[in-house]
Amino acid sequence: MTELLVRNACVIDPIRGINGEIMDIAIRDGRIVESVSDRAEMIDARRCLTLPGGIDSHTHVCGTKVNFGRYMSPEDMRAGRTRRRGRMHVTSGYYVPTTFGNSYRYSAMGYTTLLEGAMAPLEARHTHEEFTATPHQDMLANTLFDGNWAVMDAVREKNIQKTAAIVGWTLNAVKGYAIKLTNPGGTEAWGWGEDLTSIHEPVRHFEVTPAEIISTMIRANELLRLPHSVHLHCNNLGKPGNYQTTLATFDLVPDLNPDRQTLYATHVQFHAYGGGTWRNICSKAEEITRSINNKPQIVMDMGQIMFCRTMTMTADGPMEFNLHCLHHNKWSNHDVELETGSGIIPVTYSKKSAVNCIMWAIGLELALLTKSPWQCLLETDNPNGAPFVKYPEVIGLLMSKRYRDEECATLHADTEKRTSLHALEREMDWFDIAVMTRAGQAKALGIINQGKGHLGIGAEADIAIYPIRTDSLDPAREYRKVVEGFQKTRYTIKRGRVVSRDGEIIVDGANATFWTNARIPEDLRVDNDPEFIRRFQEFYTVRMSNYPVQEVYLPRGRCVETESFT
Amino acid sequence: MIVNDVVCPFCGCLCDDLELEVKGDRVVRVQNGCSLAEATFMNDTRLPAPIRRTTTGWKEIPYDEAIKETADILKDADRPLLYGWSSTHGEAQSVGVHIAELMGAVIDNTSTVCHGPSILAIQEVGHPGCTLGQVKNRADVVIYWGCNPVEAHPRHMSRYTTYATGFFVPDAQRDRTVIVVDTRRNNSSDIADEFVQIEPGGDYAVLSALRAIVRGKDSVIPKKVAGIEKEQLIRVAEICTKAKFGAIFFGLGLTMSRGKYKNVRNAIELTDELNRHTKFVISPMRGHGNVYGSNEVFTWMTGYPFAVDFARGIAFYNPGETTAVDILRRGECDAALIVASDPGANFPRIAAAHLAKIPTVVIDPHVNATTSLSRIHIPCTAAGIDAAGTAYRMDGVPIRLKKVIERGYPDDAEILKKIYDRLNGSKGP
Amino acid sequence: MKCILNTGRSVPQGVSVEHKGSEEYRTVASVCFLNSVDMMVLGIETEARVRIASPSGHVVLTARSADGLKQGEIFVTIGPYANHIISSETHGTGMPDFKSQCVNVEVTEEPVRSVGELMEEIGGLRYDRQ
């Protein structure tokens, strides 16, 4: 039995409605309890800001394309390297760090749970291997279904039950957590070097549209009673004028679940562009947030970009090729048979580029114009918009109008004309930030019941204590202290153990991986369907028996069982 | 006993549809496999026990002693080299990286003398590729450039390309055009629809010519380029641009000949160019079963796919300096740990000779040329035969190798962990 | 005769690659393929022995004709025999010139040595228990 008592913590715990109360937190064997014995180890938080461990609900940190980003970028590996020190392994890389680099830096920022944004089922084993080497965060994997042949066939047949059965079998086989759709239909079209330009354009041969895929998958997701909703990267990412696609997509979404959203729209900044060319691109954040503010069934995340050099990596292969044709830098692409695609290119977001400045402003506008912070979560689509180490700066910008104005003064002159950021007075408070960086994520991912995102009795003791005194710090004025404070916790506690102190990792980690297992009625199971098996054996290049990820790849797997089809 | 859907660990194809008949600790029959697979499973002679070289011959020693001596050799070394890794599973590779990190060693894998130059090219211009099933189901044009799949990857053509039935390619033999580019005629070129025979060292020029033609600049091309008639180049370019889905597979013909990584870069840039007309992909034909896995494991742990030097405390990478052949050629390392490979046979003589001058330890199931150069050889399981573990196919698809028999050998990952523990005062990695 | 040495894999080499001490492997790895015209110029028949020399060393191999080769090219399976004469210079890439080594080919009466003998020549000691 191990016990820990955190005293004098200034707690903000949005899920329980606690906002800045000074309290003690008792921990036994990794969970929060009523009280501990007087033999418990003690930490004095000294009235510092204490939050549930941070949760990133959309980041790219593990798996085939992330590793390829490292593989092709020795220049970035040299950019951020640290020695072996104490319990810390060597790390390399700044915008695509090695797994230990990701894990240590997230931990230093108080993050204890990460959702990998895109895992191709065929290559799931790789993602899980890297999860094991990312020891200080619990991990979940979004599983890609955007170009899944069996799913598209079932969608064409308008068969929601069969769609659900395919999804359920696949998630179980690859130990995935949730459904991810990246440019649905578009990744299959990219198999022929093409893309789709509208959500009503059919995919060649399969004769289904993105709108049909999205609508059917949303219903299949609810039939499976999955903890998270469908997680969508909309079509037409990064194209001027794409906000109409985004709005049309949002209009497809019914409100089907009382506990959480029915659709999670990711990195919406990249999907909120007006105009028709790179010359007249402008912000449509107002239109997008008007839609969101009227649709409690949708939660989005920002997809904030920051000015720096970084790497874009996504399953959206055609988008990456288009971007490559603009940047003329190196380009990698990796299509995955019968499932999805992916692309990787390095980019530099520059203040000299009007387009980049507008993108930067749009991300902030989205957050500031969304009334409920539970509906617009903070992230950068790491590393696409910026590496996650930039989150504290994003927090600073959201909390301080002065910081935003000072930044805006350094930007391309067109920014003010084509966005409305300068007119937004809103300054977020500590509670809003706690929602946007952990509580909102826990609710959206459906992991509150797993003891994540709050500090109630029975919750997992994942806690971040920041060197920030909310009673004396004025974030609007002293935003630099805010940024600094969120860069490095005083303590990061993971499952009841202090893992990081003042940015230094002090133990070997032992994370868990969450995955979902939906029970599917015998007569609907695809592994009993001879036609499904025949097509699998004929067109995949691995045998069906070698496809599922063995339990050995999840040394601390946590299965979330669902009573589906009820 | 019959075991189904077995993965052959020999080459980068990692065919996973073998059927094995097992009797006791022996595989007695291999079905669906090529002759390389058959030899891998059925002709599997092992070194029976750890051996140490004495002044006059070889002496069998217990495992514990061999492990202790290996740890002592590494501990005493100022600049140890850990080399090999491509014929074992990711679990062993991962412990290897941890040892290198702990000791401040150089760790390199066999891609250094295989597709290392391809990696250098990819680091310059990227890699437009795909999984092999994309090629199988879609490709109507397949190009083998500087590689000989019939000899080196015998089932590549039947599983993924020339003879494979794909969803959009129901009649493979009729629907696919196969082009072979090589300096010599061989078994692969004999079955090509179009054979392009290049003068040795002419790959770069031919790739440049094709890029020019694809860009519509055929007027600048001379009558002949590296022995190829202009007409043939134009014909090949046209086959490519008219393809619905084209796939280039390239081998050591590009990486080992004059120009090395620049050849590969040019081939990738040709692929890039072709994507502005149609869909095209390119992939290296990786040799050892899990050489790609060693690149993957090294990369997520250190940031670099091969040639990683921990001497400075951080991970440092500079091919040409931190690559195994160069370190040996310069006589720089003062101890070597060779795992699952045979540099004695595969490195130029001068480089191999240095292994005999320093204490070299081999961890490998089989006696090989490096055995003769070593101080100690510790036999272990062979991944995919009597040990399970992860391997990455040449296209990056991770596959779990199976353990099909038990032969009583310890797993190399276990041996390496014991060495690590000794070096680290028995704290785990 | 001046030639360019090319190396590569073959099925027989792959089959015996884990048995480098075997006679079978020696037979496979120590063959030097030449264009038949070059063999005529040298005045030799198949199974004659040739001495291949480069600035890095020399090795004796068994000659065999192969029509796929052009004049002035020779091919040896990847392995210890070819490596005996390949330079370890990598031109800053880590990769030796496995496919473009300039060599001199001449007829010889010397025998083809075993892999073990090659290894002993560079300081090794054969382990013969197979």
**Any idea what the CATH number is for the domain that residue B354 is in?**
3.40.50.740
Write out the two tokens for A255. 């409100």
**Contact C20/B342, CB-based, under 8 Å?**
yes
**Looking at residue C11, which CATH number applies to its domain?**
2.40.40.20
Q: Does some domain include residue C43?
A: yes
Q: Does some domain include residue C130?
A: no
Minimum distance, in Å, between the CA of residue A548 and any CA atom of chain B: 10
Select from B261, B345, B348 the Cβ nearest to the Cβ of C93: B261
Q: How far is CA A66 from the centre of its chain?
A: 14
B–C: how many Cβ contacts below 8 A? 205
Examine the fold and report which residue of B261, B284, B307 is the final residue of a domain before the chain moves on.
B284
- What gap in Å lies between CA B178 and CA A162, rounded to an integer? 39
- What gap in Å lies between CA A384 and CA A346, rounded to an integer? 9
What proportion of chain A, given as a percentage, has pLDDT over 70? 100
* Chain C residues 23-52 within an 8 A CB cutoff of chain B: none
Residue A196, number of CB atoms within 10 A of its CB: 24
* C2 at interface of B, judged by CB pairs closer than 8 A: no
Residue-number span of the structural domain to which B359 is assigned: 46-114+289-423
Mean pLDDT score across all residues of chain A: 97
**Contact A83/B296, CB-based, under 8 Å?**
no
Please check whether residues B94 and B150 belong to one and the same domain. no
Best probe of the B interface among C71, C91, C119, by most B CBs < 10 A, is C119
Q: Which of A441, A447, A446 is nearest to A54 (CA)?
A: A441
Q: Does some domain include residue B407?
A: yes
Residue A341, CA atoms < 13 Å, CB-side half-sphere: 28
Residue B122, number of CB atoms within 10 A of its CB: 25
End-to-end Cα spacing for chain A: 40
The predicted structure's pLDDT at residue A345:
95
* Chain B residues 33-62 within an 8 A CB cutoff of chain C: 34-36, 38-40, 43-45, 47-48, 51, 53, 57-58
Chains A and C touch (3+ CB pairs under 8 A): no
Please check whether residues B268 and B398 belong to one and the same domain. no
Please check whether residues B323 and B379 belong to one and the same domain. yes
pLDDT at C130 over 60: no
Write out the two tokens for C42. 């040298």
Q: Which residue of C has its CA nearest to B353?
A: C122
**Contact B366/C19, CB-based, under 8 Å?**
yes
Q: Which chains touch B (3 or more CB pairs under 8 A)?
A: A, C
Please check whether residues B171 and B314 belong to one and the same domain. no
* pLDDT single digits (tens) B160-195: 999 999 999 999 989 999 999 999 888 899 899 999
Please check whether residues B74 and B87 belong to one and the same domain. yes
Q: Which residue of B has its CA nearest to A94?
A: B303
* B308 at interface of C, judged by CB pairs closer than 8 A: no
The predicted structure's pLDDT at residue B428:
47
| Residue whose token pair is 């009820």 | A566
Spatial contact of A6 and A50, defined as CB atoms under 8 Å apart: yes
C-alpha torsion angle, residues B314, B319, B322, B325 (rounded to 10): 160
* C95 at interface of B, judged by CB pairs closer than 8 A: yes
* Chain B residues 259-288 within an 8 A CB cutoff of chain C: 260-261, 287
Q: Does some domain include residue C127?
A: no
Please check whether residues B182 and B313 belong to one and the same domain. no
Please check whether residues B56 and B149 belong to one and the same domain. no
Q: Which of A516, A539, A477 is nearest to A221 (CA)?
A: A516
At C3, which amino acid appears?
A: C
Q: Which residue of A has its CA nearest to B304?
A: A71
- What gap in Å lies between CA A385 and CA A366, rounded to an integer? 15
Q: Which chains touch A (3 or more CB pairs under 8 A)?
A: B
| Residue whose token pair is 């101890």 | B335
Q: Average pLDDT for residues A330-348, to the nearest whole number? A: 97
Q: Which residues of B237-259 are buried (b: 16+ CB within 10 A; e: fewer)?
A: bebbbebebbbbbbbbbbbbbbb
The structural domain count of chain C equals: 1
**Contact B295/A71, CB-based, under 8 Å?**
yes
- What gap in Å lies between CA B86 and CA B287, rounded to an integer? 9
The predicted structure's pLDDT at residue C121:
94
* pLDDT single digits (tens) A258-315: 999 999 999 999 999 999 999 999 999 999 999 999 999 999 999 999 999 999 999 9
Q: Which residue of A has its CA nearest to B296?
A: A67
Q: Average pLDDT for residues A123-143, to the nearest whole number? A: 98
**Contact A125/B134, CB-based, under 8 Å?**
no
Q: Does some domain include residue B75?
A: yes
pLDDT tier at C69, thresholds 50, 70, 90: confident
What is the three-class DSSP state of B38? helix
- What gap in Å lies between CA B379 and CA A85, rounded to an integer? 33
Spatial contact of A344 and A95, defined as CB atoms under 8 Å apart: no
Examine the fold and report which residue of B232, B262, B284 is the final residue of a domain before the chain moves on.
B284
Q: Which of A250, A278, A270 is nearest to A380 (CA)?
A: A270
Q: Does some domain include residue C7?
A: yes
* pLDDT single digits (tens) B20-48: 999 999 999 999 999 999 999 999 999 99
pLDDT at A176 over 70: yes
A124-132 and A64-71 helices, crossing angle to 10°: 70
Please check whether residues B170 and B238 belong to one and the same domain. yes
Q: Does some domain include residue C80?
A: yes
The predicted structure's pLDDT at residue C68:
81
DSSP C13-45: HHHTTT-TTSHHHHHHHTEEEE-HHHHHHHT--
Rg of chain B over all Cα atoms, to the nearest angstrom: 23
The predicted structure's pLDDT at residue B426:
54
- Using an 8 Å CB-CB cutoff, list chain B residues near C15: 35-36, 38-39, 43
Indicate the burial class of A401 (C-beta count within 10 angstroms; 0-12, 13-18, 19 or more): middle
Q: Annotate A119-135 with three-state secondary structure.
A: ECHHHHHHHHHHHHCCC
Helix (H) or strand (E) holding B40: helix B35-42
Spatial contact of A451 and A7, defined as CB atoms under 8 Å apart: no
Write out the two tokens for B55. 């002044």
DSSP chain C: -EEEEEEE--HHHHHTTT-TTSHHHHHHHTEEEE-HHHHHHHT--TT-EEEEEETTEEEEEEEEE-TTSPTTEEEEETTHHHHTTS----TTTT---TT-EEEEEEE--PPPPPHHHHHHHTT-------
Q: Average pLDDT for residues A182-186, to the nearest whole number? A: 98
- Using an 8 Å CB-CB cutoff, list chain C residues near B51: 127
Q: Where are the beta strands (DSSP E) in B166-221?
A: 177-182, 194-197
Please check whether residues B303 and B394 belong to one and the same domain. yes
Write out the two tokens for A340. 């999805």
Angle at A400 between CA A399 and CA A406, to 5 degrees: 145
The predicted structure's pLDDT at residue B299:
98
* pLDDT single digits (tens) A488-547: 999 999 999 999 999 999 999 889 999 999 999 999 999 999 999 999 999 999 999 999
**Contact B392/A330, CB-based, under 8 Å?**
no
- What gap in Å lies between CA A133 and CA A131, rounded to an integer? 5
Q: Does some domain include residue B28?
A: no
Contacting residues for A151 by C-beta, under 8 A, at least 6 apart: A145, A163, A166, A167, A213, A217
Minimum distance, in Å, between the CA of residue C25 and any CA atom of chain B: 11
Contacting residues for A346 by C-beta, under 8 A, at least 6 apart: A73, A76, A309, A310, A311, A312, A327, A329, A330
Contacting residues for B425 by C-beta, under 8 A, at least 6 apart: none
* C55 at interface of B, judged by CB pairs closer than 8 A: no
Q: Does some domain include residue C128?
A: no
The structural domain count of chain B equals: 2
Ranges in chain B, pLDDT < 70: 426-429
Examine the fold and report which residue of B221, B255, B284 is the final residue of a domain before the chain moves on.
B284
Q: Which of A270, A286, A291, A430 is nearest to A366 (CA)?
A: A286
End-to-end Cα spacing for chain C: 38
What ipTM goes with this model?
0.97
Q: Average pLDDT for residues A411-426, to the nearest whole number? A: 96
- Using an 8 Å CB-CB cutoff, list chain A residues near B295: 71
Contacting residues for A530 by C-beta, under 8 A, at least 6 apart: none
Q: Which chains touch C (3 or more CB pairs under 8 A)?
A: B
**Looking at residue B192, which CATH number applies to its domain?**
3.40.228.10
- What gap in Å lies between CA A91 and CA A106, rounded to an integer? 13
- Pairing of the two strands A332-335 and A343-348: antiparallel
**Contact B126/A332, CB-based, under 8 Å?**
yes
Best probe of the B interface among C95, C98, C118, C119, by most B CBs < 10 A, is C95
The predicted structure's pLDDT at residue B425:
84
At A528, which amino acid appears?
A: N
* pLDDT single digits (tens) C35-49: 999 999 999 999 999
Chains A and B touch (3+ CB pairs under 8 A): yes
Write out the two tokens for A120. 């191709």
Residue-number span of the structural domain to which C64 is assigned: 2-121
Please check whether residues B238 and B123 belong to one and the same domain. yes
Q: Which residues of A514-538 are buried (b: 16+ CB within 10 A; e: fewer)?
A: bbbebebeeebebeebeebeebbee
**Contact B398/A123, CB-based, under 8 Å?**
yes
Please check whether residues B198 and B109 belong to one and the same domain. no
Write out the two tokens for B358. 């320093």
Please check whether residues B245 and B153 belong to one and the same domain. yes
Minimum distance, in Å, between the CA of residue C13 and any CA atom of chain B: 9
